[in-house]
Amino acid sequence: MLPSGTYNVSYSQDMAIVRTRLQWVVLVAFLVALFALPRFASGHVLSVLNGIGIMLIAVHGLNILTGYTGQISLGQAAFMAVGAYTSALLTARLHLPFWIALPSAGVSAGAVGLVFGLPSVRIKGFYLAMATLAAQFIIPWMFIHVRADITGGVSGMVVPPASLGGFIFKSQESMYFLVMSVAVAMTFFAKNLVRTRTGRAFVAIRDNDIAAEAMGINLFTYKLLAFFICSFYAGVAGSLWAHWMRAINPDHFTLMDSIWYVGMVIVGGMGSTLGAILGTTFLRLLSELVMTVSPQIGRHFPVLAANILAALGPMLFGLVIILFLIFEPRGLAHRWELFKASYRLHPFAH
């Protein structure tokens, strides 16, 4: 809903994402604040934000696949692993520059995503979830057992820091600028993708695939395209992750992580770019909260002290997902829309 007093009088106004001057001010202020933050924030805050930025990219991809196209994937972490390993192999073994490794990671993850997306042409819903679940086991297994001499097997491999034009991203702070720049660019792309012909085709497939096909949408092409884009995002996220962590092994990309990403899409609100941001931030901050609160709880209940840290995270995550599914299946983005509608209409009820 538009703020009161704002009318669309031309097509370009109707299509604009940012409609009013105030929205421009808020957007610019947000971006300035985002990139000015390292001046004020501590290293720990920056590392948390780096984590959020990287996961956000993966969640954006998953949101395009699950939220917009309606295909379930439980393999996002595995596709991230493909990106991470591609980037690591290219920079550490072949000594290629980072600006080549980053897009290559996306493309290679996208290609692997295509392979595991192929079953989506025949099957859907729960069966598709199973196919991507298989990816989640087969891909890390291959990194461990096939050519362990170059991937380092179980122990993984050490990754050189990212560098661009002679500048080396070594500290959390410099990494922050890299991660946030990529995250903002990928968010911009995701937001606009779903407004194009392709994005509308995705939504049509989600809402009713048979009707979409009858309207001339090639399901084969568009479903695979959705898988490619989703995995491309995962690959880019994986590449950043590798150069951020500077060491990778298959344990970083487990089924549990994949489920977290789906959880972030659900908590944020499926089929909403803003939702991906809200969901990722919310769940990451929640787990950060668990880290700080658990020792306190442990002090008050010594019986539980030993296990509380390992136990509270999974329990809370499970609980949050179930509560969101039951009480707010449209996620935080929907709440935000309701809030916006109410203040824009204030003082009227409708």
Partner 1 sequence: MTNLLQFLLTGILVGGVYALIALGLVLIYKSSRVFNFAQGDLVMLGGFVTWTLVARLGLPLWASLPVALALAWVAGLLVERLALRPLIGQPILAAVMVTLALSYFFKGFTILLWSADRRVFPEFFPTAPVKLGEIVLSQHLLWTFVVSVLAFGLLTIFFWRTKAGLLMRAAAEDHQVAQSMGISVKGVFAFTWSIAAMVATLGGLLLGSINGVDPTLGAIGLKAFPAVLVGGLESIPGALIGGLTVGIVEGLAAGFIDPSLGEIAPFLVLLLILLFKPQGLFGLKRIERV
| Residue count, binding to partner 1 (CB under 8 A) | 51
Any idea what DSSP says for residue 92?
A: I
Residue of 60, 52, 56, 78 lying closest to 226 (CA atoms): 60
**What are the CA-CA distances from residue 67 to residues 45, 118, 199 (Å)?**
29, 19, 11
Closest CB 144 distance from partner 1, rounded Å: 8
Reduced to 3 DSSP states, what percent helix, strand and coil does the chain have, rounded to the nearest 5? Answer: 75, 5, 20
Minimal distance in Å, beta carbon 74 to partner 1? 8
Omega within 30 of 0 (cis) for the link into 347: yes
Between 281 and 300, how does the x/- string for binding to partner 1 read (CB under 8 A)? --------------------
Q: Based on the shown chain and the rule CB under 8 A, indicate whether residue 77 belongs to the binding site for partner 1.
A: no
Considering the rule CB under 8 A, would residue 31 count as an interface residue with partner 1?
no
Distances (CA, A) of 249 to 107, 223, 273: 20, 30, 30
The least distance separating partner 1 from the CB of residue 75, rounded to whole angstroms, comes to: 11
- The answer to the question of residue 45 lying near partner 1 (CB under 8 A) is no
129 forms part of the interface with partner 1 (CB under 8 A): yes
Cβ neighbours for 185, distance < 8 A, ≥ 6 positions apart: none
Given candidates 7, 11, 40, 126, which one binds partner 1 under the rule CB under 8 A?
126
- The stretch near partner 1 (CB under 8 A) out of 116-124, 167-175, 178-186, 192-200 is 116-124
Alpha-carbon torsion angle 148, 149, 153, 158, nearest 10 = -140
Provide DSSP, 295-328.
HHHHHH-TTTHHHHHHHHHHHHHHHHHHHHHHH-
**With respect to partner 1, which residue has the nearer C-beta, 176 or 257?**
257
Verify binding: residue 326, partner 1, rule CB under 8 A: yes
Which of 24, 30, 99, 141 lies at the binding interface for partner 1 (CB under 8 A)?
Answer: 141
One of 52, 55, 56, 72 touching partner 1 (CB under 8 A):
72
**DSSP type of residue 165:** T
**Of the residues 6, 93, 100, 145, which one makes contact with partner 1 according to CB under 8 A:** 145
Report the alpha-carbon distance of residue 169 to residue 243 in Å, rounded.
9
Please identify which residue in 17, 31, 100, 130 interacts with partner 1, judged by CB under 8 A: 130
The minimum distance between CB 51 and partner 1, in angstroms, equals 19
Q: How far is the CB of 275 from partner 1 (least distance, A)?
A: 14
Applying CB under 8 A, which part among 32-40, 43-51, 89-97, 259-267 lies near partner 1?
Answer: 259-267
DSSP 246-270: SEE-GGGS-HHHHHHHHHHHHHH-T
* Helix pair 219-245, 197-207: axis angle to 10 deg: 110
Contact with partner 1 (CB under 8 A): which of 24, 30, 99, 127?
Answer: 127
Rounded distance, CA 337 to CA 272, Å? 11
| Spatial distance between the Cα atoms of 258 and 59, rounded to a whole number of angstroms | 10
Kindly state whether residue 274 participates in binding partner 1, applying the rule CB under 8 A: no
x/- contact string, 218-247, with partner 1 (CB under 8 A)?
Answer: -x----------------------------
* HSE (side-chain half, CA atoms, 13 Å) at 190: 30
Residue 211 binding partner 1, by CB under 8 A: no
Q: How far is the CB of 137 from partner 1 (least distance, A)?
A: 5
Per CB under 8 A, 312 contacts partner 1: yes
Q: Which is nearer to partner 1, 144 or 203 (CB)?
A: 144
Contacts of 245 (CB under 8 A, 6+ apart): 159, 252
List contacts with partner 1 (CB under 8 A). 66, 72, 74, 118-119, 121-127, 129-131, 133-134, 137-138, 141, 144-145, 209-210, 219, 255-256, 259, 262-263, 266, 270, 304, 306-308, 310-319, 321-322, 325-326, 329
